[in-house]
Chains A and B, each alone.
Chain A
Amino acid sequence: MRKFWDSSVGKKVVMGLTGLVLVGFVLGHMAGNLQVFMGMERYNAYAKLLQEDIIEITWAVRVALLVSVVLHVTAAWQLTRRSWDARPVAYALREAQVSTYASRTMRWGGIYLFLFLVLHLGQFTLGWTWLFPEYAKGAAYGNVVLAFGHPFWVAFYLVAMFFLLLHLFHGTWAVLRTLGLAKNAAEPLQRRLPLIIALVVTVGFSLVPLGVALGFVR
């Protein structure tokens, strides 16, 4: 175990496996969020279902997600440090040839996403009133409408979704290669399914703040 975790491949595998858990979560979370377009009653009932009726299951999922995030971020942090240490003298000139913008923004985008995650939980789950004074416990629909009445929150969420798009575009492609599962390909950098997953998730998520900001949800 220890040896596996210490190796760069082992850490990468941990990142891949935890990443898969998180991809599964964002897909479900996105689908759940879209119920905001079905009206206040339906949305609040969904919130009550998760937070009261099946709270035991919710907690099991939360623990799994928390463990995944901690492992994902820890491995990413340690691997990043190793990579930076691996080239102490930088090139005066190094041109990116084929690497995607997505692959080059995994680290900084990941930091933004982590920051987003903390504020997002504080805003809607933990109800930090210093952050979001209009928060009302149990009023999930109202909280969404009030939050995205602020252009700041709309912008903050849309930027996060932009980085999530990039993160998923690279991550969902790379994970099968990290786990040794992908098939050989004539053009290994080409991908279709990861683009679809990334677009579905981020467009789905973005519809909520946009729906409020444009007046479809009120």
Chain B
Amino acid sequence: MSGTMNITLKVWRQAGPTAPGGFEEYKAPGISPDMSFLEMLDVVNERLIEGGKDPIAFDHDCREGICGMCGLMINGSAHGPSKLTTTCQLHMRSFKDGDYITIEPWRAKAFPVLRDLVVDRGPLDRIIQAGGFVSVATGSPQDANALPIGKLEADEAMDAAACIGCGACVAACPNASVSLFTAAKISHLGLLPQGQPERYRRALHMVAQMDLEGFGGCTLFGECMEACPKGISIDFIKRMHGDYIWGAVTEKPEKVALGSG
């Protein structure tokens, strides 16, 4: 068959959270360069199932690059070799016939492996619960023009809000730091007027939660920004630091301890 590729995969297999894991090699002949990376894994899994073996477990959902479910360490690079791309939007044409591809789950103490390539990204949810919201009285929505927001502010807030929470920043960071995710979530609210009342408290709470979850600290390697499929800038980490410092100096002590969800 012309135009297809023969590749070899080295995949992390682990039966469960406490089971010992290890790498297994799989031959994947006859792969179309038009397949997405996940479709290639689907093909490999079909063959495994036909052969009576356990398919490789991996996270995926929308497969159009916006849900944040997929995420694999591919040849030592989060979401693979293409920039601004989730694993599902990575295509096999980015590889060559005969390539040897190493596939690993995101590695972090805070992201325990559940099975094979699936990790528990619950800590990201708990960081959001710690402060990634605005407390507003709900009711009928007000007029969209009632709160004027500058174009540049709106743009910057949207740049931060592009975060899909995939965890690639943690995976790519040599410190396993979640700073880029947390900073994006702090910033997209803090840049808008609705987010102002809780801006500094939000930074204090979310930073405290990310430390509590056991992530490493930021040393500004910049790897997160490169791995991020949405191209979120480390400028937001700088902003998070600014908010945190100001909050630490000015925030009043709280009367009621907040739960972590």
Q: Give A87 to B112 CA distance when docked, in angstroms.
A: 10
For residue A183, which residue of chain B has the nearest CB? Answer: B235
A181 is an interface residue with CB less than 8 A from chain B: yes
Report A-chain residues with C-beta under 8 Å of the C-beta of B26. none
Determine if B216 and A83 form an interchain contact, defined as CB atoms under 8 angstroms apart. Answer: yes
Docked complex: A10-48 residues within 8 A CB-CB of B: 10-13
Determine if A174 and B241 form an interchain contact, defined as CB atoms under 8 angstroms apart. Answer: no
Q: Which one, A83, A173, A178, A180, contacts B174 given CB within 8 A?
A: A83
Which one of B45-53, B62-70, B88-96, B225-233 is at the interface? B225-233
- Specify which of A9, A94, A96, A188 lies most central, judged by the most chain B CB atoms within 10 Å of its CB: A9
Determine if A92 and B214 form an interchain contact, defined as CB atoms under 8 angstroms apart. Answer: no
Q: Which one, B76, B176, B222, contacts A93 given CB within 8 A?
A: B76
Q: Give A104 to B102 CA distance when docked, in angstroms.
A: 23
B39 → chain A closest CB, angstroms:
23
Report A-chain residues with C-beta under 8 Å of the C-beta of B211. 6-8
Q: Which one, B216, B235, B248, contacts A82 given CB within 8 A?
A: B216
Q: Which one, B102, B215, B223, B239, contacts A92 given CB within 8 A?
A: B102
Report B-chain residues with C-beta under 8 Å of the C-beta of A181. 238, 242
* With A93-B104, A103-B221 as contacts: A87 and B216 at CB distance below 8 Å: yes
For B, the interface residue count at a CB cutoff of 8 angstroms equals 50
Determine if A182 and B107 form an interchain contact, defined as CB atoms under 8 angstroms apart. Answer: no
Q: Give A16 to B164 CA distance when docked, in angstroms.
A: 30
Q: Give A85 to B176 CA distance when docked, in angstroms.
A: 9
- Specify which of A7, A92, A97, A179 lies most central, judged by the most chain B CB atoms within 10 Å of its CB: A97
B169 is an interface residue with CB less than 8 A from chain A: no
Q: Give A8 to B110 CA distance when docked, in angstroms.
A: 15
- The 8 A CB mask of A83-99 against B (1 = contact, 0 = none) is 11111111111111111
A4 is an interface residue with CB less than 8 A from chain B: yes
Q: Give A188 to B228 CA distance when docked, in angstroms.
A: 15
Q: Give A179 to B246 CA distance when docked, in angstroms.
A: 10
B73 is an interface residue with CB less than 8 A from chain A: yes
Determine if A97 and B227 form an interchain contact, defined as CB atoms under 8 angstroms apart. Answer: yes
A7 → chain B closest CB, angstroms:
6
Q: Give A218 to B116 CA distance when docked, in angstroms.
A: 67
B248 → chain A closest CB, angstroms:
5
Determine if A184 and B233 form an interchain contact, defined as CB atoms under 8 angstroms apart. Answer: yes
Determine if B73 and A91 form an interchain contact, defined as CB atoms under 8 angstroms apart. Answer: yes
Report B-chain residues with C-beta under 8 Å of the C-beta of A82. 216-217
Q: Sort A-B residue pairs by CB-CB distance and give the 9 closest, nearest first.
A: A180-B242, A83-B216, A86-B216, A8-B217, A83-B175, A93-B76, A95-B76, A86-B176, A99-B221
Residues of A with Cβ closer than 8 Å to B? 3-4, 6-13, 79, 82-100, 103-104, 106, 170, 173-174, 176-182, 184-185, 188-189
Residues of B with Cβ closer than 8 Å to A? 10, 12, 23, 73, 75-77, 102, 104, 107-110, 156, 172, 174-177, 207-208, 210-211, 214-223, 225-227, 233-235, 237-246, 248
Provide 8 A-B residue pairs closer than 8 Å at the C-beta atoms, listed in order of the A residue.
A9-B245, A10-B248, A82-B217, A86-B109, A92-B12, A99-B221, A179-B241, A180-B241
